[in-house]
Amino acid sequence: MKRRKLLKQLGFGLSGGLLLPHLLSSCTKDDPAPEVPFDGDVVVIGAGTAGLYTADILKAKGIKVKILEAGSQIGGRVRSLRNQKELVNLSVADFPVELGAEVIYGSDSIWGTNLKNFAVNTIDIDEVSSDRYILDNISKLAADWEIDGDFTNAQNFVASLQNFSGSGVSVEQAAAGLPARVKALINSQIGNLYGSSNSALGMGGVSESLQARTHDGARLALRTNPMQDFLIFRFDQVRDLVQLNTQVTSIDSTGDKVLITDANGNQIETNKVVVTVPISILKKNAISFSPGLPGAMTSSMSRIGMDHSIRVVIDFKKNFWGETTGFLWGGESIANCFSAGVGRGEFNQTLSITINGPKAVELSAQGPDMVNTILTELDTIYGGQATAFVRRDFDTSQVLSVIQDWGKDEFIQGGYSYPMASATLEDRGNLGLPIGDKVFFAGEATDVSGDAGTINGALASAERVTQEIIKSITGE
């Protein structure tokens, strides 16, 4: 009964298809004795995907755990429009609109398997839609571009990414032989997709990750349930263990116990800590560590970037980009442009745009005017239809849009981590090095399974870090 009420609060109806709450992995009062005997407790810093899953596994093992989160909501970079009360009226969409992660990569990946286990309704983006590609301000299907040699060469370059071997080369350097007219296209398909731009993204790091990846690479989206709701539902067992609005500023592990201090000067003592904050936060030294971070970790940190990132969602009165269009590749201020209603909305008239790297810095400086920059680019491709059909507020004539500027979010400060030219997969491993047997690190940037920068990477890092903690307790 209690569970039913919770599902309702989270917006999960029968349409969400969530049937199997008993599959939750955490302990219930009926569970047998703890698997890991430990008198102490563990504090997890950050209530994003990695932090929640870490706490969930530790709790299931009978370990006392608490989560400290700087922000005012659970989910981190999984954030859905429907949960943002101050923004919610800006979109008429009848499908989940995401401000952060929107694609589930791999039907058999960790996150894909979770969705399957809970019978959550999804769409396979590639089954319900086709991507379109922009060259010379014209948007067409891949098949319609095939006679264009430059397009074919560009797509061959994208497809061969995972065959690259070597290091010290940016994508831009590797693509130097391709003509200028395909530069924006491959920047959107590679540099922007992996969190940055072709000038900063390293070929070696991306190639190694793609080779390490084991899932089928399918692209799914949730049909009815916002991603943040499913994340909170999935980790319901640790929800009450989260203390919000608690920004950790220092972690001192020089004594017998670890002393954690927050921005208000409050202190907590614990036995072990798992830090899951975004790598941008560590790079900016927003948390001070004593003893300091391992040398190999700080050295690797200089080779893993996390650039500015913005999500812009715009509603239109008409779908002028094609009812069956999925992603549009090749734009600049619309580098990653997803037709968010495709296959899931009666009203398929919303674009969800993700811009990373230097272009995101440029747009961020424009503030709300960035929406006009985006409309202007769309107008150039679609003969003025963007400005003609954009939805506006009846009274104020303001364009109806939502801007989530992740680079300006104090506790995120960017999009997701990416390898710079000189980075290797070993650097990811070094980002997860512990300080002694007391301070551990997880989060998407530390993933070595090939899924860094995604929800799967965050989940895989939680599985890795909990094994490390258990080993530090049991010695096995």
Ligand X SMILES: Cc1cc2nc3c(=O)[nH]c(=O)nc-3n(C[C@H](O)[C@H](O)[C@H](O)COP(=O)(O)OP(=O)(O)OC[C@H]3O[C@@H](n4cnc5c(N)ncnc54)[C@H](O)[C@@H]3O)c2cc1C
Would residue 405 be called left, alpha or beta, if left means φ above 0 and alpha means ψ between -120 and 50 degrees? beta
**Per-residue x/- track, 364-383, ligand X (CB under 6 A):** --------------------
Please, which of residues 378-407 interact with ligand X by CB under 6 A? 406
Type of residue found at 411: F
Nearer to ligand X, 277 or 423 (CB): 277
- Regarding 51 and contact with ligand X (CB under 6 A), the answer is yes
Closer CB to ligand X, 434 or 453, in the complex? 453
Window of 68-76, 175-183, 389-397, 426-434 that interacts with ligand X by CB under 6 A: 68-76
Structure tokens at 158: 């994208």
Give min distance, CB of 149 to ligand X, in A. Answer: 31
The answer to whether residues 376 and 399 touch, using CB atoms and an 8 Å cutoff, is: no
Please report how close the Cβ of residue 452 comes to ligand X at its closest, in angstroms. 8
| Residue 437, both tokens | 């047997």
Does 218 sit near ligand X (CB under 6 A)?
A: no
In the complex with ligand X, which residue's Cβ is closer, 8 or 284?
Answer: 284
61 or 283: CB nearest ligand X: 283
In this complex, which beta carbon is closest to ligand X, that of residue 77 or of residue 283?
77
Q: Does 45 bind ligand X (CB under 6 A)?
A: yes
Nearer to ligand X, 78 or 386 (CB): 78
Whichever of 135 and 371 has its CB closer to ligand X, that residue is 371
Please report, as a single letter, which amino acid is at residue 217.
G
CA-based radius of gyration for the chain: 22
Contact 354, 311 (CB under 8 A): yes
Q: 60, 61, 69, 170: which one contacts ligand X (CB under 6 A)?
A: 69
Q: Is 77 in the site for ligand X (CB under 6 A)?
A: yes
> From CA 308, how far away is CA 406, in angstroms rounded?
7
Q: Would you count residue 453 as binding ligand X (CB under 6 A)?
A: yes
Residue from 71, 205, 226, 305 touching ligand X (CB under 6 A): that is 71
Provide the residue type at 162 as one letter. Q
Please give the full DSSP string across 111-154, using - where no structure is assigned. HHHHHHHTT--EEEHHHH-EEEEEETTEEEEHHHHTT-HHHHHH
The answer to whether residues 351 and 337 touch, using CB atoms and an 8 Å cutoff, is: yes
Footprint on residues 284-343 left by ligand X (CB under 6 A): 286-287, 309, 311
Q: How many residues bind ligand X (CB under 6 A)?
A: 42
What is the per-residue DSSP string for 142-194? HHHHTT-HHHHHHHHHHHTGGG---SS-BHHHHTTTS-GGGHHHHIIIIIITT
CA–CA dist 324, 347 (Å, integer): 12
Please pick, from the candidates 103, 268, 386, 460, the single residue that binds ligand X as defined by CB under 6 A.
103
Q: Does 56 bind ligand X (CB under 6 A)?
A: no
Written as six digits, the tokens of 339 are 């037709």
Q: Which residues bind ligand X (CB under 6 A)?
A: 45-51, 68-71, 76-78, 100-103, 105, 247-248, 276-278, 281, 286-287, 309, 311, 354, 406, 411-412, 415-416, 443-444, 453-455, 457-458
